[in-house]
């Protein structure tokens, strides 16, 4: 247990009289993917906001590398190596790919008032880092808004990996994507995991979670429904727990699409 | 791009046009060229050195403000108090120098502190309340307007402060802010130099520094910026302070040139600043725009305003021109934005 990058024990959060999260525990280990599953309103967002430093928990323990923390800002979480990629907030659409890649950590040359962004380095490092993740972009100078949804998520993931994140929190990275694009994003999630990062994958789709996940935390109405290792649970059981048996046929169809596809989209 | 990167077969050569379209100032540049050629052909005085000096001077103080307002708009905010602020800072300088007998330099310093404080207050209120900056600065606009008139009447019994010329330190301060220099036999106001200097600094900061990167980011998506560690609140407050600081500069140029200031000066100018910035390629929704573009937008203003005078037309036509220009600019900008934001899902 001491080797866990991230651990929460009986964590809870209330907004006024609303109990958003209560008594939830899980761990995130290096080179593993912890999936957080739950329907809308299950407390997924609240949990990641605590992990990412946006909100502070008001019950339980939050440990990073074994020591308890209470982050007061996302910057603090970032400094501890916890990077979060939000579904729609991953990038600034009107800015170029490389400016997005380095946003908040721009490389500079010069000193004092003459400290300028090293644009050449920015462009070349971005191109190299993206290529290292297997992301093939036409032009790092184009606005991120011209990329597909999947490509945007990939840029954000590559950014987190490049800047030495130890824990990568992905908030519904596949939610707004088509089947093929979702497959591409999951491929990069697996790649980040293989590089030794601990990944927290938030999703409401067990068919996206199961292929890459090592551990599954099911949330319902702010409480943990259960935590399972991959060996303890089958996809069918996970789906049943999630959806209560409903919509199985429709989801099974989506699954075939994800597993059968590994190619680059767009 | 110099050491010939591996060529991607998906990148075609006609991208030069795409690149140009993505430059926010390109529309303004074409517009300025059009206005320039038009008035050069229609009137004789427009191209004379005296004519050039006049429309450059007209554009200069507007340009300083337009560039500052452009930075703020790229950062996703408005400042409606910017116009009145030029009068407020001039009034503070004038009252301190003429009524309390302060040295002009000291009075200028005090009014700078005053302006920056109001700018910081604007920014702090907007960030603290989360209200649209449009409504918050409308409040400060009205408050400053009332303060300008009320305090001026209280101190002087009239609605203007004059007599700067006899204040101590006037000549040296005037030399810096309101003198003229001769170029090719014609005298140009030094405000033109301030305008160019301010534009160069703003453009450099915007595209070459981290702070500039953050300006685009907080205007494009404040939440994304915060998530990757950009200090959103600090960036926006600094932008409001920059606008107020620019208003102080323009106010100082005015008070030292005209040696008197009306308490109701500056009202309505805030929209001219925004219009010039929009003509220069700034999006009303933030995250996109250019400092150079805003300076060109102000240049179009100055050229058209003076050109209409030289052509002996009624100046009423200026408003029509302005309206058409603004609509054209907004349409072009909107098309550009759609192009840049177009997502392939």
> Distance from B133 to chain A by nearest Cα, in Å?
21
Q: Could you report the per-residue pLDDT of A173-224, keeping only the tens digit for each?
A: 887 777 777 888 888 888 888 888 899 998 888 888 888 889 999 888 888 8
Do residues A32 and A136 share a domain? yes
Burial class (CB in 10 A: 0-12, 13-18, 19+), B133: buried
Do residues A256 and A199 share a domain? no
Judge contact between B206 and B215, C-beta under 8 A: yes
Q: Could you report the per-residue pLDDT of B48-72, keeping only the tens digit for each?
A: 989 999 999 999 999 999 999 999 9
Number of domains in chain A: 2
Do residues A244 and A219 share a domain? no
Higher pLDDT, A254 or B171: B171
Query: How many Cβ atoms from other residues are within 10 Å of residue A124's Cβ?
Result: 15
Reduce the secondary structure of B219-253 to three states and give it as a string. Answer: HHCHHHHHHCCCCHHHHHHHHHHHHHHHHHHHHHH
Do residues A111 and A152 share a domain? yes
Do residues A249 and A147 share a domain? no
Mutate which of A78, A100, A104 to disrupt the B interface (most B C-beta within 10 Å)?
A: A104
Judged against a pLDDT cut of 80, whether residue B136 lies above it is answered with: yes
Do residues A205 and A180 share a domain? yes
Q: What is the dihedral of CA A139, A145, A147, A152, to 10 degrees?
A: 110
| Chain A residue nearest residue B228, CA to CA | A104
Q: Would you call A93 an interface residue with chain B, using a CB distance cutoff of 8 Å?
A: yes
Average pLDDT for residues A106-119, to the nearest whole number?
88
- CB contacts, 8 Å: A149 with chain B: 343, 345
Query: d(Cα A234, Cα A255) in Å, to the nearest integer?
Result: 14
> Distance from A192 to chain B by nearest Cα, in Å?
18
- CB contacts, 8 Å: A108 with chain B: 209-210
Do residues A153 and A250 share a domain? no
Do residues A229 and A242 share a domain? no
Strand B260-262 vs strand B160-162: parallel, antiparallel, or unpaired? antiparallel
Higher pLDDT, B137 or A253: B137
Judged against a pLDDT cut of 60, whether residue A265 lies above it is answered with: no
Q: Could you report the per-residue pLDDT of A222-251, keeping only the tens digit for each?
A: 888 888 888 888 888 888 777 655 555 666
DSSP bridge pairs for A12: A59
Q: Could you tell me the residue range of the domain that residue A251 belongs to?
A: 235-266
Averaged pLDDT score across all residues of chain B:
90
Do residues A134 and A263 share a domain? no
Query: d(Cα B334, Cα B338) in Å, to the nearest integer?
Result: 6
Among the residue ranges A43-52, B15-24, B182-191, B257-266, the one predicted with the least confidence is: B15-24
Q: Would you call A89 an interface residue with chain B, using a CB distance cutoff of 8 Å?
A: yes
Going by C-alpha positions, the residue among B127, B32, B77, B102 that lies closest to residue B287 is: B77
> Distance from A230 to chain B by nearest Cα, in Å?
31
Do residues A222 and A262 share a domain? no
Burial A63-81 (b: 16+ CB within 10 A, else e): bbeeeebebeebbebbebb
Do residues A50 and A88 share a domain? yes
The token duo for B165 is 């010329």
Among the residue ranges A86-95, A140-149, A160-169, the one predicted with the least confidence is: A86-95
Do residues A125 and A250 share a domain? no
Backbone angles phi, psi at B31, to 5 degrees: -60, -45
Among the residue ranges A66-75, A115-124, B105-114, B291-300, the one predicted with the least confidence is: A66-75
> Distance from B337 to chain A by nearest Cα, in Å?
8
DSSP letter string, B62-99: HHHHHHHHHHHHHTT---TTHHHHHHHHHHHHHIIIII
Burial class (CB in 10 A: 0-12, 13-18, 19+), A25: middle
- 8 Å CB contact of A74 and B341: no
Percent of chain A with pLDDT over 90: 11
A–B: how many Cβ contacts below 8 A?
A: 105
Judge contact between A37 and A206, C-beta under 8 A: yes
Query: d(Cα A42, Cα A224) in Å, to the nearest integer?
Result: 9
Percent of chain B with pLDDT over 70: 91
Judged against a pLDDT cut of 90, whether residue B104 lies above it is answered with: yes
Task: Give the model's confidence band at A164: pLDDT under 50 very low, under 70 low, under 90 confident, else very high.
Answer: confident
Domain of A20, CATH number, reads 3.40.50.300
């Amino acid at each position: 247990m001491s080797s866990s990058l991230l651990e929460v024990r009986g964590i809870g959060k209330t907004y006024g009289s609303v109990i958003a999260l209560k008594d939830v525990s899980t761990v995130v280990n290096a080179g593993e993917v912890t999936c957080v599953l739950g329907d809308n309103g299950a407390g997924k967002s609240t949990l990641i906001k605590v992990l990412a430093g946006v909100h502070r928990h008001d019950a339980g323990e939050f440990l990073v590398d074994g020591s308890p923390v209470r982050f007061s800002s996302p910057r603090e979480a970032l400094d501890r190596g916890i990077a979060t990629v939000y579904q729609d907030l991953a990038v600034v659409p009107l800015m170029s790919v490389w400016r997005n890649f380095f946003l908040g950590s721009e490389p500079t040359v010069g000193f004092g008032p003459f400290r300028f962004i090293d644009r050449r380095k920015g462009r070349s490092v971005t191109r190299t880092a993206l290529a290292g993740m297997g992301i093939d972009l036409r032009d790092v100078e184009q606005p991120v808004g011209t990329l597909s949804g999947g490509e945007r998520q990939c840029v954000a993931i590559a950014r987190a990996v490049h800047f030495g994140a130890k824990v990568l929190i992905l908030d519904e990275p596949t939610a707004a994507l088509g089947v093929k694009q979702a497959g591409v994003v999951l491929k990069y999630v697996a790649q980040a995991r293989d590089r030794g990062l601990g990944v927290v994958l938030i999703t409401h789709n067990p068919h996206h979670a199961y292929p890459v996940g090592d551990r599954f935390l099911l949330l319902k109405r702010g409480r943990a429904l259960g935590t399972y290792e991959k060996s303890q649970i089958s996809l069918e059981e996970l789906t049943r727990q999630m959806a209560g048996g409903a919509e199985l046929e429709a989801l099974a169809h989506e699954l075939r699409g994800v597993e059968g596809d590994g190619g680059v989209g767009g | 791009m110099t050491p010939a990167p591996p060529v991607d077969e998906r990148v075609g050569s006609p991208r030069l046009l795409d690149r140009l379209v993505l430059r926010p100032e390109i529309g303004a540049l074409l517009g300025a060229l059009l206005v320039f050629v038009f008035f050069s052909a229609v009137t004789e005085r427009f191209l004379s050195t005296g004519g050039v000096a006049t429309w450059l001077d007209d554009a200069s103080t507007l340009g300083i403000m337009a560039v500052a307002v452009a930075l703020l708009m790229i950062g996703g905010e408005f400042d409606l108090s910017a116009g009145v602020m030029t009068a407020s800072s001039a009034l503070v300088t004038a009252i301190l120098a003429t009524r309390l007998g302060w040295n002009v330099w000291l009075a200028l310093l005090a009014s700078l502190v005053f302006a920056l404080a109001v700018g910081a207050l604007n920014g702090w209120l907007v960030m603290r309340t989360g209200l649209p900056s449009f409504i918050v600065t409308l409040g400060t606009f009205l408050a400053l307007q009332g303060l300008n008139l009320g305090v001026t009447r209280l101190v002087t019994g009239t609605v203007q402060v004059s007599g700067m010329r006899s204040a101590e330190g006037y000549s040296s301060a005037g030399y810096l802010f309101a003198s003229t220099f001769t170029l090719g036999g014609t005298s140009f106001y030094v405000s033109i130099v301030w305008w160019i200097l301010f534009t160069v600094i703003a453009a450099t900061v915007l595209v070459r520094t981290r702070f500039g990167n953050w300006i685009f980011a907080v205007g494009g998506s404040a939440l994304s910026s915060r998530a990757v560690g950009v200090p959103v609140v600090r960036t926006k407050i600094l932008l409001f302070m920059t606008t107020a600081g620019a208003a102080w500069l323009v106010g100082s140029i005015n008070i030292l040139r005209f040696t008197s200031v009306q308490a109701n000066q500056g009202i309505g100018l805030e929209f001219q600043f925004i219009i010039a910035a929009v003509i220069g390629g700034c999006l009303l929704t933030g995250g996109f725009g250019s400092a150079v573009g805003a300076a060109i937008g102000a240049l179009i203003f100055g050229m058209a305003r003076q050109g209409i005078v030289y052509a002996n037309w009624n100046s009423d036509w200026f408003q029509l021109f302005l309206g058409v220009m603004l609509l054209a600019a907004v349409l072009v900008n909107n098309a550009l934005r759609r192009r840049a934001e177009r997502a392939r899902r």
